């Protein structure tokens, strides 16, 4: 396929802002659960798409897998390499696009993505690329935000102030639907999925919004480019109000539960 280079560069720049490693800390429990569910065997050829600073890649490498990480931006790689070195593991890192993977056909036994590949503009291309590089009998593991999650509402507010550019052909939260994934991946895959939750431990809705305002690339990009600047106060107020609707106190403490879909899809073996 032909990737729109302007959109790719916009996305690459947007995701490079902020202190993503702090956001990755919030997402780590999902990575732990996914890798535990997959339980990849030593020697597994594993591609982690939208690897960020390596949450999943690190856990898989510690199991003895041969891990390759790919991300649209390499801004996260120094942090990832430091984590890998501290753990005494090796992971090969590549900058690249999920819609055009720079790997040969049937190169991997396992392909994963946690909260990342669903933001690729062209869903069909991203799904087709996973299929292309995955060996028959291989598996896909994903954590994807659902349409009713706090993240979906957060993204909806951002999108209402910043409409998607031409070429954004799919809505990210569709990847949080098992039926949509089954259709996207096609009859060559068996898809199983389960709704799960992360928990963001913030004492107040205001604290969570402030955290994302300072650490999360798309939020920082929105704040830096919104015009007039006074509209940021409107957008931020909407985010705080929305977050208050999710904010709760339970046995986990005080914070915001964030729903996601844990997905394992198996590619049928060739006959």
Count of residues for the chain? 271
Whether pLDDT at 6 is above 90? no
Cα-based distances in Å from 91 to 22, 30, 101, 179, 195? 21, 20, 17, 33, 29
Paired residues of 195 in beta bridges: 261
Dist CA 97 CA 1 (whole Å): 11
Whether pLDDT at 168 is above 50? no
Across the range 21-42, mean pLDDT stands at 96
Q: Would you state the pLDDT for residue 1?
A: 47
Across the range 151-165, mean pLDDT stands at 84
Across the range 126-132, mean pLDDT stands at 98
Dist CA 67 CA 46 (whole Å): 5
Q: Would you state the pLDDT for residue 162?
A: 76
Q: Would you state the pLDDT for residue 19?
A: 72
């Amino acid at each position: 396929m032909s990737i729109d280079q302007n959109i790719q560069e916009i996305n690459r720049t947007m995701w490079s802002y902020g202190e993503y490693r702090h956001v990755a800390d919030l997402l780590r429990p999902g990575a732990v659960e996914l890798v535990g569910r997959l339980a990849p065997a030593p020697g597994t050829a594993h591609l982690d798409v939208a690897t960020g600073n390596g949450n999943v890649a690190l856990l898989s490498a510690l199991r003895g897998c041969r891990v390759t990480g790919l991300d649209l931006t390499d801004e996260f790689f120094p942090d990832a390499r430091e984590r890998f070195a501290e753990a005494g593991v090796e992971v090969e890192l590549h900058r690249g696009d999920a819609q055009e993977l720079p790997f040969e056909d049937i190169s991997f036994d396992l392909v994963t993505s946690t909260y990342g590949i669903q933001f690729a503009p062209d869903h069909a291309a991203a799904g087709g690329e996973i299929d292309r590089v995955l060996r028959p009998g291989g598996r896909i593991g994903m954590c994807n935000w659902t349409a009713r999650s706090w993240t979906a509402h957060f993204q909806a507010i951002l999108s209402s102030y910043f409409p998607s550019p031409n070429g954004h052909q799919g809505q990210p939260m569709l990847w949080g639907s098992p039926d949509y994934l089954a259709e996207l991946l096609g009859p060559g895959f068996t898809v199983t999925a389960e709704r799960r939750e992360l928990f963001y431990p913030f004492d107040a809705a205001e604290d969570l919004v402030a955290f994302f305002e300072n650490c999360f690339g798309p939020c920082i990009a929105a704040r830096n480019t919104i015009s007039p600047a006074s509209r940021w106060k409107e957008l931020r107020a909407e985010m705080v109000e929305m977050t208050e609707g999710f904010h709760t106190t339970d046995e986990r403490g005080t914070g915001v539960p964030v729903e996601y879909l844990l997905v394992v899809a198996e590619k049928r073996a060739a006959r």
